[in-house]
Structure 1
Amino acid sequence: MAGHSAAVISTEELARRMGAPALRIFDCTTYLKPGPDGRYIAESGRANYDKGHIPGAAFLDLQADLSDQSSKLRFTLPPLEELTRAFAAKGVGHGTFVVLYSHASPVWASRIWWMLRAVGFDDAAILDGGLDKWKAENRPLATEATVHPAATLSLRGRPEIFVDKTTLKGAIGQKDTLTLNALSHDQHKGTGGVVYGRAGRVAGSSCVPAASLFGPDKALKPIADLRAAFEGVGAAPDKRVLVYCGGGIAATLDAFVLTAMLGHRNVSVYDNSMQEWANDPSLPMEIG
């Protein structure tokens, strides 16, 4: 267990809670695969869910069911009223406790966690180590799909925890704000990795890669290590932190750790991230 946050649940604790009437488990997996043009192709994790998932887990398809279908960009956040209805239809409601997991990387679970937080729902946790750790411990799997009953959900949202390019651009050079890149150091420097348009980073930003926050077992690193990583780039608790990545996914793991584990209260994610920023020549970038 990487920490004692209520927003992180161990495989042992989930196993103990299995069968609880209010429990709602969701597999949130999407896979990103390199395409022939050097950019990612997004693939739903539904096929692997059908081959084996945690018993009682339903599948959440981020792109098909929880993203703005009118957007030309992948994974764009839909209007919060629409998103609230979508979550309720999937079984998220008052009195439920939601556990989110994904395969290969926790960033897909953290994206859904951050979206739930945006609509005002806080009774959710990420499974530490996800499906990888569950399977490594030889815990049971199911192949029969689960569909949770629709629920009622009416909350006060937090639209401020997602920001747009105008807000991010306005924060450049502001001493009270830290802009943080959750992509790899090579992508940050513009020296390698998948690009989303122009290579490099948002001008003035620092880097804590989401992939550096968890180990080979996909479990989050010890909380002392996480704190040191963010303190090392100046992410003080009194600063506003704006996090971005390629498409608003990896950034949510940085945001999750800062908010749920380290106690930061002023963290936002740039939703469309580099897939938008790097393709707009009017927006400043740096390399090196």
Structure 2
Amino acid sequence: MALDDPKTLVSTDWLEMHLKDPDLRILDASWYLPDMGRDAKAEYAAAHIPGARFFDIDEISDQRSSLPHMAPPPEKFVSRMRAMGVGDGHQVVVYDGAGLFSAARVWWTFRLMGKTDVAVLDGGFAKWQAEGRPVEDMPPVLRDRHITVSRQAHMVKDVTQVAAAAKLGDHEILDARSPGRFTGDEAEPRPGLRSGHIPNSKNVHYRTLLNADGTMKSPDALRAVVEAAGVDLGKPAITSCGSGVSAAIINLALERLGKHDHSLYDGSWAEWGMYNDLKVAKG
């Protein structure tokens, strides 16, 4: 059971208790890989937590980039949130249909924009439904709400910064992909990408941070997982994955541990695996 913290993670009990709070905003941030065979928007239309708005990770992104769902420019984030009625003074709770997967990416996006009153729903929509809690299929009534943001540049890293960190060893680079993809034994799902990992990175598969029911492990258990992967928690951390979605699960876990010096490599393997002049390690 999550120790409820409206800045990181809240339980289904907590959310149901606060469902009628006027300053609460709930976001359905479901997003699936093509091989998952699920349609996030259709599932949202069919059933969602009462009052939830749909946060489209692919659309609320920097579409000037050729890389998938890069973090949106602040002005785009502001315009989308304003139209969705998400603004200053709101407590935001983000969930997804997979349990705890893409919701962490949206939590990180809010953090990147300087908004800290945001939490992920532990166990997501699957747990909410399994417990027989209320759902609806009506879209919420939206009213514009003013929102101010302050982009926290230290929370995101680009390829040059990650290459420097890999060479200098002054950060821990944590890769959330599966062990097979990390070692290079498994092919990448995106065509044209090399296999392997960023030199000097450590594998912390995002699933190892979660319980079987899709909830996040306790802070003590998270610490044990991270330390078992050989991670030095004394160094600042950079997280990475296939395209910057599951990496944010590590950022959320680190925040739960009370570690605040962490950032996310937004281009992740979709970028690193594409350029032949960037070194790749295997095994």
TM-score range, shorter chain: over 0.9
Query: Which amino acid is 2:122 matched to?
Result: D
**Counterpart residue number, 1:282:** 277
Which residues of 2 match residues 105-254 of structure 1 at below 5 A?
A: 105-192=99-186, 194-196=188-190, 197-254=193-250
Contact 2:99 2:213 in 1 (8 A): no
Distance change >3 Å, CA 232–CA 174, structure 1 → 2 = farther
**Counterpart residue number, 2:259:** 264
Query: Which amino acid is 2:14 matched to?
Result: E
Asked whether 1:74 is paired with 2:68, we answer yes
CA distance in 2, matches of 1:265, 1:152: 28
Asked whether 1:11 is paired with 2:9, we answer no
Stretch moving more, 8-17 or 185-194 = 185-194
CA distance in 1, matches of 2:200, 2:139: 46
Contact 1:237 1:263 in 2 (8 A): no
Contact 1:113 1:124 in 2 (8 A): yes
Stretch moving more, 181-190 or 207-216 = 207-216
Q: TM-score, normalised by structure 1?
A: 0.92
Query: Which amino acid is 2:211 matched to?
Result: G
Which residues of 2 match residues 70-109 of structure 1 at below 5 A?
A: 70-109=64-103
Question: Root-mean-square deviation (CA), in Å?
Answer: 1.7
Distance change >3 Å, CA 257–CA 247, structure 1 → 2 = same
Contact 1:248 1:272 in 2 (8 A): yes
**Counterpart residue number, 2:2:** 2
Identify the structure with the greater strand proportion. Answer: 1
CA distance in 2, matches of 1:76, 1:91: 23
CA distance in 2, matches of 1:266, 1:17: 30
User: How far off its partner does 1:155 sit?
Assistant: 3.0
CA distance in 2, matches of 1:29, 1:193: 25
User: How far off its partner does 1:193 sit?
Assistant: 5.4
**Counterpart residue number, 2:25:** 24
Stretch moving more, 142-151 or 230-239 = 230-239
Distance change >3 Å, CA 195–CA 50, structure 1 → 2 = closer
User: How far off its partner does 1:159 sit?
Assistant: 1.6
Distance change >3 Å, CA 88–CA 237, structure 1 → 2 = farther
Q: Which deviations, in whole Å up to 9, do the C-alpha atoms of 1:103-123 show, x marking residues without a partner?
A: 114221110000000111111
Stretch moving more, 68-77 or 234-243 = 234-243
Contact 1:178 1:234 in 2 (8 A): no
Partner-residue secondary structure (3-state), 2:120: strand
Query: Which amino acid is 1:219 matched to?
Result: T
Partner-residue secondary structure (3-state), 2:119: strand
CA distance in 1, matches of 2:135, 2:258: 34
Q: Which structure 2 segments of 5+ residues have no match?
A: none
> Which of 52, 56, 77 is equivalent to 2:51?
56
User: How far off its partner does 1:147 sit?
Assistant: 4.2
Q: Structure 1 segments of 4 or more deviating over 4 A?
A: none
CA distance in 1, matches of 2:235, 2:278: 23
CA distance in 1, matches of 2:11, 2:72: 30
Query: Which amino acid is 1:121 matched to?
Result: K
Contact 1:44 1:61 in 2 (8 A): no
**Counterpart residue number, 1:37:** none
Q: TM-score, normalised by structure 2?
A: 0.93
Q: Which deviations, in whole Å up to 9, do the C-alpha atoms of 1:51-73 show, x marking residues without a partner?
A: 11111111111112x11122212
